[in-house]
Amino acid sequence: MNLKKIFGLTLISGLILIISSCDLKRPAKGFEDEIYVVADSVEFAQLKSALDSTFEKTIYTPQPEKLFTLKRINVSRLDHYERFKNIIIVAPLNSGSSTSNFIDAVVDTAIKRKLQTDANFIVYKNNLWAKNQLVIVLSAPTMQELEFKILQNSDKLLYSFQKISDKRLFESLYNPKFEKMKIEGKFLKEYGWTIYVQADYELALDKPADNFVWLRRSPGSDMERWIFIHWIDNATPEYLNIDSIKAIRNRVTEKFYRTSDNEGYVVIAKDYFTTNEVNFNGKYAIFTQGLWDLNIKGMGGPFVNYTFYDKDTRRLYMLDGSIFAPKYYKRNLIQQVDVTLQSFRTAKELSADRKEDLLDAVKD
C-alpha cells in the first residue's frame, strides 16, 4: 500500500512505500519530549514564536523544564528522520519554499482545498512511517493565517502529542510479567477499583478506615515516586472545585505524608499551581499540577492530581502522584506517574475477564 492510501496524500516520485499493517512497522524511535519540525529556515523563524508557545511550554519541577523541545530539519533530510516519534511538517501553501512545494506535491486536491478554506483544518496521521508515531501537517494560504492557525489550535495540537506520548509510555511501562496483580486484585476485591502496580512499587500504606492507599517506588532513594488513591463515600459533585481539592489534598498529606520524626508534613506550595478541566476515562475531572513542600521546608518536588466524581458509586476519587528527585530533571518522571494514574479503573469499567484474572490473583 502506498503512502497516498495511508495518508490521504499523493506521493511525489521517490518516496518510499509504506507497509499497510501498523503491526509490521518498526516502533517509532527518539525521545518522548522531542518534536522534529520539517520547515525551511526562514519560514521556521517566522513561525517560531507560535510553535514555541504551543509546544515548548514551561513546567516547574521546581526548576523550569519544557514539555517538548522543537528541532528543525530540512525537508531534504526527512528520510533520515521519518521513524522518529513526533513530526510536524509546516509551511504556507504555495510560498515557493521547499517544504511548501513538498506539501503541494503530496496532498491531494480535497486536502488542499480544506487547507485553503478551513482555518482550523489540520492533517493528523498516526503510524505513518513507524508504529505509535504522530505526524502533523500544518499549512494555510498565507504565513499570517498559518501562524494564527497554530495559535488558535495550540491546546489541541499539544494534547495530540501528549496523548500519543502517554500511550507509548504506558506500553513501555506495562509488562504483565512484572505486574503486581495480587495487589491490584486486593484493591478490586476490597475497594471496588484497581490501578496498575508496577513491580518496583510497594504498598506503603493501606488505611481502609481512611479510604487511603499509598504506593511508593524506591523509598529512601534520591528518585522516589509516590502515588496515593483517596476516596470519599456518599459524596457529591460539589466537591469538584479548586478550594475543596486543595483542602482535601492538604488534609490527606498532613496525615499520611510525614517525616520520620513526625515534625514535618507535605503541603501544596503556593507557586506554580495550575488546574485544567479534563476527560478522565469518560468522566469530568479536575487535573491539578503544582509543587509540594514541607511545612518546615527542606524538601519539595512536583505533583499531578486527578479528582473526579463517580456517579455509579457516589464516590469522589482523588488520584495523586508526586516526585522527589532533587538531583534529576523530572519532566519524564512526572509523565510516568501521570500515565500510571490514568490506568485507574473502577470495577464497572473492567471487562469480565480482567476482573476474573485480578480476583484469581488474590487467591494465589
Share of the chain above pLDDT 70, in %: 94
- What is the domain range of residue 122? 3-173
The gap between the terminal CA atoms of the chain, to the nearest Å, is 48
* Residue 232 pLDDT class (50, 70, 90 cuts): very high
Is residue 271 pLDDT above 50, yes or no?
yes
Is residue 9 pLDDT above 90, yes or no?
no
Residue 225: per-residue pLDDT: 96
Q: Give me 303's grid cell.
A: 505533583
Cα separation, 8 vs 294, in Å, equals: 54
Residues 94 and 27 reside in one and the same domain: yes
For β-strands 69-73 and 34-38, DSSP reports them as: parallel
Residues 151 and 255 reside in one and the same domain: no
For β-strands 123-126 and 193-194, DSSP reports them as: unpaired
Condensed to tens digits (0 to 9), the pLDDT of residues 59-79 reads 999 999 999 999 999 999 999
Residues 100 and 220 reside in one and the same domain: no
Residues 107 and 54 reside in one and the same domain: yes
- Check which CATH number belongs to the domain holding 215 and give it: 3.40.1000.10
Is residue 8 pLDDT above 60, yes or no?
no
Condensed to tens digits (0 to 9), the pLDDT of residues 39-64 reads 999 999 999 999 999 999 999 999 99
Is residue 4 pLDDT above 70, yes or no?
no
Residues 147 and 201 reside in one and the same domain: no
Q: What average pLDDT does range 142-167 have in this prediction? A: 97
Condensed to tens digits (0 to 9), the pLDDT of residues 306-336 reads 999 999 999 999 999 999 999 899 999 999 9
Condensed to tens digits (0 to 9), the pLDDT of residues 281-309 reads 999 999 999 999 999 877 899 999 999 99
Residue 219: per-residue pLDDT: 84
351, 357 contact by CB (below 8 A):
no
Domain final residue pick, 125, 146, 173: 173
Query: DSSP letter at 15?
Result: P
Is residue 19 pLDDT above 70, yes or no?
no
Share of the chain above pLDDT 90, in %: 85
306, 319 contact by CB (below 8 A):
yes
Q: Give me 358's grid cell.
A: 485480578
Among 44-58, 87-101, 162-176, 332-346, where is mean pLDDT lowest?
Answer: 162-176
| Angle, CA 81 vertex, CA 120 and CA 58 arms, to 5° | 55
Is residue 179 pLDDT above 90, yes or no?
yes
Residues 102 and 214 reside in one and the same domain: no
226, 275 contact by CB (below 8 A):
no
Total count of domains within the chain: 2
Q: Give me 96's grid cell.
A: 515557493
Residues 191 and 71 reside in one and the same domain: no
Domain final residue pick, 152, 173, 194: 173
Residue 3: per-residue pLDDT: 37
Cα separation, 325 vs 327, in Å, equals: 6
Is residue 246 pLDDT above 70, yes or no?
yes
Domain final residue pick, 173, 188, 213: 173
Residues 28 and 93 reside in one and the same domain: yes
Query: DSSP letter at 241?
Result: S
> What are the CA-CA distances from residue 203 to residues 173, 196, 213, 220, 228 (Å)?
18, 12, 8, 14, 10
Residues 6 or more apart in contact with residue 299 via CB below 8 angstroms? 264, 293, 324
Residue 17: per-residue pLDDT: 40
Residues 19 and 87 reside in one and the same domain: yes
Peptide bond connecting 64 to the previous residue in cis, omega within 30 degrees of 0: no
Buried b / exposed e over 297-317, threshold 16 CB at 10 Å, is: eeebbbbbbbbbbbeebebbb
Q: Per 3-state DSSP, what percentage of the chain is helix, strand, and coil (rounded to 5)?
A: 40, 30, 30
Residues 197 and 144 reside in one and the same domain: no
Residue 218: per-residue pLDDT: 83
Residues 248 and 329 reside in one and the same domain: yes
Residues 6 or more apart in contact with residue 78 via CB below 8 angstroms? 38, 102
